[in-house]
Structure 1
């Protein structure tokens, strides 16, 4: 049931809201009657439930906060009702006798707000103008983070430190002795004040990091010492990190000194394990430190709103490398003409840009192949085992609502149904991670496809792997996780992660590659050969699935172009509404594959041609299309990519020489170091004014 989760969550939230309301009503009724047992139960249940909801239902509390009924308001109401009850319960004392309780509680709230103010100051002091990874930044006086309860969880702190006060007031209501309330409030005050004092130590010089100006000066010195030559620039949303991660192995193998430049702080932990130094520049002003560095060129795997900001730096050349090539219009984004060069895999992309007429000149297009496709194994003939492994890897629905973007909605269930009907098929289903993010129909169809696969598995049986296989997978998973992830404590903040992720640990990437290969072998060995697989996690990666599959069924996407490096058979679903001839003419990557209609009637014949290569009439076409899409195999793609980097760096050097000569002759209109935006804004926290012709506004959307 695809909607069981959300419905259940809403039911729990509604029930919790009802219990909160009943607890307040019981507390109020118990205070007004007065009825001491009801009053005590209502007060205690309200506090305990609030504490539990902090851990179990943060979504409900967020909704209450939007309605201005946050934890502070709820605790104030709870304490107000406590005092109403104490005033009405016989034997507790008059208002003047309860005055110490009221004064003490007011001081407790004042200390809570003071602690919150100190927490804000600490967080600001620990937010640096840059974030780094794989760089030794200990010179910035980085320290571990303060306890999360004190620095970042004000609602948890208020409830936790108020418990002794509430308990004391309830004891006063039960025993009619004001001293219990005084004692409870005193304990709460001690906790709050001592916590505030401890938190304030992070503002002292010994625990305080360098200020913004000192950080920028340190960055300039590091850049001068490291002397970067080529960088990969990336900006995007939380689900777009894969666009940069696919280029990490290529970047690390380039000649020169590579660097990764990010713009969003959260992206720092989204980038996969790498030895390449990473710097995040949240603000434009700080990023202009790169202008005076030795950096010569930048690689751009995606277009983003903030890309226009880095294009302002005149000393750096820019190449658009994209995060995959397909026949989609997004692969010929008009924004590509903003770059100095557009790097593509092979002649097909060059032709694609010429036909699109988006302003990219042919002289600015460089064919470099696809270096990251090296792990894909070539075609080795028909399936030799009992099962034919089919990889169904549809893309997502895209932003434009075009029904031809993804086959999931119109054809996905039919494709899967026909594959599952063949007893000799083992299906690997790996949907795009953004499936359903725009069109709910795609998300619903995706869930139905998963349900079909699970049901098909329940009807199958056969020999299972040795139990040791699961143990081996667990061991390999732990080994790989230890290499690819850094274990942070819950309280760790950005600065603490910078401290822990300092200088890289030797040849880390080689160790990860070896561990990944061992993990993939253990992963596939842990499942029976007859069991269909639903793969939605990052591991195994798409290329590992390629190496397992005998056949690919996909949509018009870069997956097809990458698959062609293996020269194995493939099929593309046509849900565009076009005839097959028009579909093939409009999308050249389809020309060497089988076209499936939404009804997927051609699946049986497709499987037959895979199992009997003599019936495969497209083998030679795939070999020709491979070279057309990806370029020649010799020289290797990485060699061609390196040559392109060297050539563009040389162009950057030539420009610097020309600009230096013009500045030496004092030709007007040339910007020198004293006029660059960073000098006007460094250390101020303000963005510089945008140069003429480069508006600091929204740029193009991220290309698919």
Structure 2
């Protein structure tokens, strides 16, 4: 980032606050020199309105904006004091109320600083705290202080009942003091938990840990593995690196959850009983844990696909990479990532153990149910495989053929305004068709939260997706599926993404769907790729008997514990 762009970004972020400060300063000056108190009313109202806008946006992001609005609120309090003094409305109650409110506002940054030092250390761990210490609600104090400012301004204009301002200001200060006491108490409790953490983990005697660091809203990465780690029958804990991840995991497991954000804090969790560490993604902070060489480091990943991240050279740093099938091993070699065979273990995808196998040919189903499960845009341009921008046209064509739709977009869809808009278009289309024709479309919360991915698989007869790990998982069902070629021309799609050999490829390269009808004819009709899917199923998901399929993973993982 250049200094110029950094300054521009800083100004853009500070502009509403700067405008509020300017309006408050104008109100103060007019209160001091204007002949009528109402000259100061307009800029004061502008400042209060801007403060409300800043607070609303800051609170929606989950952080208290006290430091950003202290100057504005102090200027407004000064305006109230000067206004009342110049125009004869300053009584003892209002004067003291303004002073108390100012003290409450000035104390906010210190209270916020202490509150930021409150974070959870562990949960579900006897000896270090069964429940986490939660950060006090500083936003509540900020809002009450804002009310005290508005009340002081109001009674300064009215010129009477200044004692009401004093009462509100005292209440605001009391809330700030109480919040500060809460924060201080919880910081001490956090320190105590940290002091006891190593001893508590040593007494617990975990055989392994699951290390997870990811952006908020990515809990599906660990959620898919926790039930199988539980089935190993060994004690373990989940080590997370952010407070957001801590809160997400805590909703998914009764196993101990430990938060250690810094590199230097990890020594606290390395206890003698540990034998292995599991990982479900390639987060940069995985490096912090891999340095403990006496542990066996096992990468599980959170899905198998032909995406670029699935053959990232960073997989070399793990002692073992558990992969679903031979396809994953060959993918590294095909992309120039040399890894010795002993670094891999084929364990299948235990998550598909309950996926139902196709019971009849697709051509025999009159009105098939189609699962549309597009991926998202990815973190980088080279991993943007999402078909959502052309998904409306595809779904519309399927509905026109009498299909009912199960629509389950990727959990990260909401991170892109464009993908979110297209997702909403599809939901609107399905809602309108359901009302008009009574087709049992499934979408929204029902498909995305109430149903698991496996539930969606089992509720469908066929799937449309793109380059995504759900495609390899769906392969287990032996049901037909289509892949949308977005990032690569259709005639080169199978070269770039070999799993597409089992798929009916929809050409959408360049953002425009071509030749859709013949593809849907094959997908929903003659299904010439049925035998190809059966062959590739073993290649991608392991040549493992269906009976006891997940046990293969459990046995392999148990060997390292």
Kindly state the Cα deviation for residue 334 of structure 1 after the two structures are TM-superposed. Answer: 0.4
Kindly state the Cα deviation for residue 318 of structure 1 after the two structures are TM-superposed. Answer: 0.3
Alignment of 1:69-108 (within 5 A): 70-89=68-87, 105-106=98-99, 108=101
Alignment of 1:108-147 (within 5 A): 108-114=101-107, 116-118=109-111, 120-121=113-114, 124=117, 126-127=118-119, 130=121, 132-136=122-126
Kindly state the Cα deviation for residue 301 of structure 1 after the two structures are TM-superposed. Answer: 0.9
Query: Aligned to 1:434, what secondary structure does the other structure show?
Result: helix
- What per-residue deviation string (whole Å, max 9, x for no partner) do you get for residues 487-542 of structure 1? xxxxxxxxxxxxxxxxxxxxxxxxxxxxxxxxxxxxxxxxx534464567434232
Distance 1:140 1:619, change over 3 A: closer
Asked if 1:408 is matched to 2:398, the reply is no
* Cα distance between partner residues in 1 of 2:443 and 2:370: 10
Match for residue 545 of structure 1 among 429, 451, 456:
456
- What per-residue deviation string (whole Å, max 9, x for no partner) do you get for residues 434-484 of structure 1? 3474xx6xx536624642552465356567xxxxxxxxxxxxxxxxxxxxx
Alignment of 1:189-204 (within 5 A): 190-199=170-179, 201-202=181-182
Asked if 1:637 is matched to 2:544, the reply is no
RMSD: 4.0
- What per-residue deviation string (whole Å, max 9, x for no partner) do you get for residues 37-64 of structure 1? x35865885687467547655489999x
* Greater mean deviation of Cα atoms: 625-634 or 338-347: 625-634
Partner of 1:622 in structure 2? 533
Asked if 1:155 is matched to 2:135, the reply is no
Match for residue 286 of structure 1 among 247, 255, 265:
265
Distance 1:84 1:140, change over 3 A: same
Query: Aligned to 1:591, what secondary structure does the other structure show?
Result: helix
Distance 1:121 1:34, change over 3 A: same
Partner of 2:339 in structure 1? 360
Counting matched residue pairs gives 540
Query: Aligned to 2:467, what secondary structure does the other structure show?
Result: coil
Asked if 1:529 is matched to 2:503, the reply is no
Unaligned runs of 5+ in 1: 1-13, 464-527, 650-704
Asked if 1:327 is matched to 2:328, the reply is no
Kindly state the Cα deviation for residue 259 of structure 1 after the two structures are TM-superposed. Answer: 1.9
Kindly state the Cα deviation for residue 339 of structure 1 after the two structures are TM-superposed. Answer: 0.6
Query: Aligned to 1:232, what secondary structure does the other structure show?
Result: strand
* Greater mean deviation of Cα atoms: 384-393 or 454-463: 454-463
TM-score by length of 1: 0.67
Distance 1:274 1:79, change over 3 A: closer
Query: Aligned to 2:493, what secondary structure does the other structure show?
Result: helix
Asked if 1:451 is matched to 2:430, the reply is no
2:119–2:134 Cα contact (<8 Å) kept: no
Alignment of 1:228-377 (within 5 A): 228-271=206-249, 272-377=251-356
2:30–2:39 Cα contact (<8 Å) kept: yes
- What per-residue deviation string (whole Å, max 9, x for no partner) do you get for residues 226-271 of structure 1? 2111222111112433222221221121131132111111111223
| Larger gyration radius, structure 1 or structure 2 | 1
- What per-residue deviation string (whole Å, max 9, x for no partner) do you get for residues 167-223 of structure 1? 443343xx5xxxx54x35643553355445544544787x774463x4344222222
Partner of 1:392 in structure 2? 372
Kindly state the Cα deviation for residue 592 of structure 1 after the two structures are TM-superposed. Answer: 1.8
* Greater mean deviation of Cα atoms: 444-453 or 38-47: 38-47
Match for residue 427 of structure 1 among 402, 405, 412:
405
2:313–2:337 Cα contact (<8 Å) kept: yes
Distance 1:122 1:84, change over 3 A: closer
TM-score by length of 2: 0.82
1:406–1:575 Cα contact (<8 Å) kept: yes
- What per-residue deviation string (whole Å, max 9, x for no partner) do you get for residues 597-617 of structure 1? 2265554444444555xx222
Partner of 1:381 in structure 2? 360
2:376–2:384 Cα contact (<8 Å) kept: no
* Greater mean deviation of Cα atoms: 133-142 or 564-573: 133-142
1:457–1:532 Cα contact (<8 Å) kept: no
1:34–1:85 Cα contact (<8 Å) kept: no
* Cα distance between partner residues in 1 of 2:411 and 2:258: 26
Partner of 1:595 in structure 2? 505
- What per-residue deviation string (whole Å, max 9, x for no partner) do you get for residues 103-129 of structure 1? 7744542354246535543553x445x
* Cα distance between partner residues in 2 of 1:554 and 1:138: 45
1:298–1:317 Cα contact (<8 Å) kept: yes
* Cα distance between partner residues in 2 of 1:353 and 1:610: 30
1:133–1:268 Cα contact (<8 Å) kept: no
1:343–1:367 Cα contact (<8 Å) kept: yes
Distance 1:418 1:186, change over 3 A: closer
Distance 1:386 1:32, change over 3 A: farther
Query: Aligned to 1:135, what secondary structure does the other structure show?
Result: coil
Kindly state the Cα deviation for residue 619 of structure 1 after the two structures are TM-superposed. Answer: 1.6
Kindly state the Cα deviation for residue 565 of structure 1 after the two structures are TM-superposed. Answer: 0.7
* Greater mean deviation of Cα atoms: 52-61 or 297-306: 52-61
Unaligned runs of 5+ in 2: 1-14
1:23–1:43 Cα contact (<8 Å) kept: yes
Query: Aligned to 1:270, what secondary structure does the other structure show?
Result: helix
* Cα distance between partner residues in 2 of 1:459 and 1:25: 57
Alignment of 1:1-80 (within 5 A): 32-36=33-37, 38=38, 42=42, 45=45, 49=49, 53=53, 56=56, 58=58, 70-80=68-78
Query: Aligned to 1:458, what secondary structure does the other structure show?
Result: helix
* Cα distance between partner residues in 2 of 1:546 and 1:228: 35
1:281–1:287 Cα contact (<8 Å) kept: yes
1:376–1:543 Cα contact (<8 Å) kept: yes
* Cα distance between partner residues in 2 of 1:220 and 1:604: 62
